[in-house]
Amino acid sequence: MVALATFFKAQQSTGSIAIAGLAIGLETLSSAATAGLRGSLMDKWGQKWPLRVFVPAYAGMLIALNTSHTKTSILVFSFFLGLMAPPINLSIRPLWKSVVPAEFLRTAYAIDTAVISAASVLGPVIATTLALSQHPGSALAVCSFLLFLGGASLALTKVSSTWKPEAKVRGGIATFRNPAMLLLMLEGCFIGFGMGSFEIGVPAFATMEHVPHRTAWILGTMGVTNIIGGLLGGMVSKKASPLVAFQRTYLAWFLVSLPLAFTYPGWSMAFIAGCIGLSTGAVTVFYMEIMEAVRSKGSAIASLGWLWTVEGSFASLGAAVGGWIGNTSPRIALGVCTVCVGCGLTVLTVGRKRLSAANAIPTEEEDLNAMKENIDLHNIN
């Protein structure tokens, strides 16, 4: 919701799709580049003060961005907005074990995932509708209010303020010395860049064709099928190893992405976006199970944070490049997404042996941890 609201704010204020793409790129870059640091901060100090500092700062920065009208101020506030991104996504995951009995954990994770996924569907619709209404400033204003309400509610709960970080494991392999994690980071470089270009290419194409409102239901369709894909992935996660299922669904993702550059912001783009959402929903489930199997022990929060730092940083670069390309040829921006998915598939195929630890049916604990991390991924800004 924040990304689309920022896009339309920048585009409407400057009249440039390239500047809008750059604004999202700066926001994503600064947020992603510090995600790992925020994870490490919480591992050391807990949740209380990080949330109480970052939540109001982020809400205030959204208001500042909303009141900006020049190219320079919009770009500056977009960059600082990312720096202030509160670590809500990294805060929620460890709390469930403290508030529900073990036998209800799977139910809690399923409900949480369903709520977050539903929000990911409604968010683009609400943001686009408000941004294109008679009061376009209401999009960022609503984002600020909802973020402050949710973040403050979490920060003031007893379970969050009293949460203790996970104990470190001595002698464990550092994340940046783990071959499997390095492979996932390399794959994340391509996927981040490609999806960054895609997320700019869609609204850019729709705006150039004078149908910007279609952005909402194209991305909404993708969000709905992403939920379905995640559910389907969860159904087969007990019947196949995460690595085998991951490669098969990844190949399906690449194949359905091939026609993307030839679509138009209408039923054809919505159909392909829906197919992509179905594939990525399943891919995410297996990806998290693989990460849980190969990550360094004692780094549950930091591992996801550093993976997002890499992927999110390249997503920001992809958004900036996609905005520049989309200003003249949005089809190329969409084509970049397909090429990057193909590159990611190649990286994982060549480096398959490094992920051998994930070539087994996941245990109950690994399944639960993967579901928790899937929640985190949907929560990341």
pLDDT greater than 80 at residue 296 = no
Q: Specify the pLDDT at position 109.
A: 61
The stretch 22-36 carries a mean pLDDT of 83
**pLDDT of residue 362 exceeding 70:** no
pLDDT confidence of 289, banded at 50, 70, 90? confident
Task: Report pTM.
Answer: 0.74
> Hey, what are 69's tokens?
């009208």
Write the CA distances from 200 to 29, 82, 215, 312, integer angstroms.
14, 17, 10, 14
Which is more confident, 311 or 241?
A: 311
| pLDDT(364) > 70 | no
What pLDDT sits at residue 374? 54
pLDDT given at position 371? 55
Using the predicted structure, report yes or no on whether residue 147 has a pLDDT greater than 80: yes
* Confidence band for 369, pLDDT divided at 50, 70 and 90: low
Cα–Cα nearest to 22, from 209, 204, 215: 204
Confidence of residue 119 (pLDDT cuts 50, 70, 90): confident
Q: How far is CA 178 from CA 48, 95, 216, 258, 295, in A?
A: 30, 27, 40, 33, 8
In the structure, how many helices (H) and strands (E) does the chain have? Answer: 17, 0
For residue range 185-216, what is the model confidence (pLDDT) as tens digits? 999 999 999 998 998 899 889 988 989 888 88
> Chain-wide mean pLDDT for the chain?
83
Q: pLDDT tens-digit profile of 50-70?
A: 888 899 999 999 999 999 989
138: pLDDT strictly greater than 90 = yes
Average pLDDT over residues 136-146: 92
pLDDT, residue 91, reads 73
Q: What is the pLDDT of residue 120?
A: 72
- Say which residue, 244 or 272, is predicted with more confidence: 272
pLDDT band at residue 309 under the 50/70/90 scheme: confident
Mean pLDDT throughout 89-117?
Answer: 68
Q: Which residues contact 341 (CB under 8 A, 6 or more apart)?
A: 190, 191, 194, 250, 253, 254, 257
Rounded mean pLDDT of 94-100? 75
One-letter amino acid identity for 239? K
Does 277 score more than 70 pLDDT? Answer: yes
Give pLDDT, residue 64. 94
Domains with residue ranges and CATH for the chain: 2-379 (1.20.1250.20)
Average pLDDT over residues 91-102: 74
